[in-house]
Amino acid sequence: MVWAVLLALLLAGGGWGWELTVVFTTDLHTSLVRLAKFRDVFRQADLVLDGGDAWEDTHRLTGEAEAWETMRRMGEYGYTAMVLGNHETYLGPRALGRILAETSFPVLATNLRAPLPTQPWALVERKGLRILILGVLWDLAVIWPGWELEEPYAALEEALAAVPPHDLFILLAHMNTDRAFDLVRRLSRKPALVVLGHDHQVYLEPRVVEGVPVVQAGSRGKALGIVRLGPEGVQHYEILKPAETLPLAIPSGTFGVLGLFALLALLWRG
């Protein structure tokens, strides 16, 4: 009888000797060339997560083409989910809506009410574990007409009261570090892992806030994080950096856009 119960627990995977490999990126800012270096690592992961700011780079004035290409490549690499970052909002509601409609993995925005195909949560199953993933953003986001951004804590508590049954909860957060730490402290139900983006920091070790590991892997594909999670928490943590940092591509459309505007302005002078 005892063996039958143990076997049932093992098969159910409900917290008995499980191990999950989570690979994560943060603040990619369309760094496709660098992302490609990690292709083999993605294949070995149970979950591939992104902490937001993947599809736009203001420094390089990237265009819609780079956003589309990054989204497609993330789909090819098997991303499980990402959270919307403030830079995704800079794409504008129409371009962002078009891209989101074609994205093959969930893009989470638990605290955003907008006519966009984002999701408040994602529930995935790996190794018999039902894993709930939520994602919130806050700092420096552009709130377009028709959008409403709820305070992350209230939105998360509201979502956690309504989500389906699950064994594990992972939070993707795109906001300032201090705000994220405070959010983790206040949450009534603690996540097993927080993937944090926005501040472009590389955490060589997880920051632990009230027992919750918070991880971040820098920006622009210069690093990638690997977490092995088990029933006791983080079993292994590693930040991978490629031997050489590849240069970022120059966006192709910028000069075309500027040229078109100059032409229109000259032709259409008042």
Binding other proteins (rule: CB under 8 A), the pick from 94, 127, 185, 241 is 94
Tell me which of 7, 9, 39, 92 binds other proteins, using CB under 8 A.
92
- The DSSP 8-state label assigned to residue 6 in this structure reads H
Least distance (Å) from other proteins to the CB of residue 220? 16
The answer to whether 61 contacts other proteins (rule: CB under 8 A) is yes
What distance in Å separates the CA atoms of residue 171 and residue 52, rounded to the nearest whole number? 12
The C-alpha atoms of residue 118 and residue 20 are separated, in whole angstroms, by 25
| Angle (nearest 5°) at CA 20 between 183 and 157 | 25
Instruction: Name, in order, each residue with C-beta under 8 angstroms of 252's C-beta and a sequence gap of 6 or more.
Output: 63, 65
Chain Cα centroid distance, residue 178: 18
Question: Using an 8 Å Cβ cutoff, are 193 and 22 in contact?
Answer: yes
The span of 39-47, 123-131, 152-160, 255-263 binding other proteins (CB under 8 A) equals 255-263
Among 32, 36, 41, 95, which residue sits at the site for other proteins (rule: CB under 8 A)?
95
Q: Applying CB under 8 A, which of residues 140, 159, 239, 249 lies at the interface with other proteins?
A: 140
Q: Judged by CB under 8 A, how many residues of this single chain contact other proteins?
A: 36
Q: How far is CA 72 from CA 32, 79, 238, 251, in A?
A: 10, 10, 26, 17
- Taking CB under 8 A as the criterion, the residue among 74, 132, 149, 194 binding other proteins is 149
Out of 15, 19, 58, 235, the only residue in the binding site for other proteins (CB under 8 A) is: 58
* Near other proteins by CB under 8 A: residue from 8, 240, 250, 258: 258
Q: Which residue, 74 or 122, is less far from other proteins as judged by CB?
A: 74
From 42, 68, 144, 237, residue interacting with other proteins (rule: CB under 8 A): 144
| Least gap, CB of 232 to other proteins (angstroms) | 40
Task: Choose which of 18, 24, 77, 90 interacts with other proteins (CB under 8 A).
Answer: 90
CA distance 45 to 20: 8
Shortest distance (Å) from residue 97 CB to other proteins: 9
Q: Across the strands, what pairs with 168?
A: 131
214 vs 233: CA distance, rounded Å? 12
Decide whether 10 or 262 has the Cβ nearer to other proteins: 262
Tell me how far apart the alpha carbons of residues 123 and 101 are, in angstroms, rounded to a whole number.
Answer: 19
* Burial tier of 244 (Cβ tally within 10 Å: 0-12, 13-18, 19+): exposed
Query: According to DSSP H, which parts of 80-212 are helical?
Result: 86-89, 93-102, 152-160, 177-186
The answer to whether 154 contacts other proteins (rule: CB under 8 A) is no
123 binds other proteins per the rule CB under 8 A: no
Determine, following the binding rule CB under 8 A, whether residue 32 of this chain makes contact with other proteins: no
* Residue 143 binding other proteins, by CB under 8 A: yes
Residues that bind other proteins (CB under 8 A): 56, 58, 61-64, 67, 86, 89-96, 140-146, 148-149, 253-254, 257-258, 260-261, 264-265, 268-270
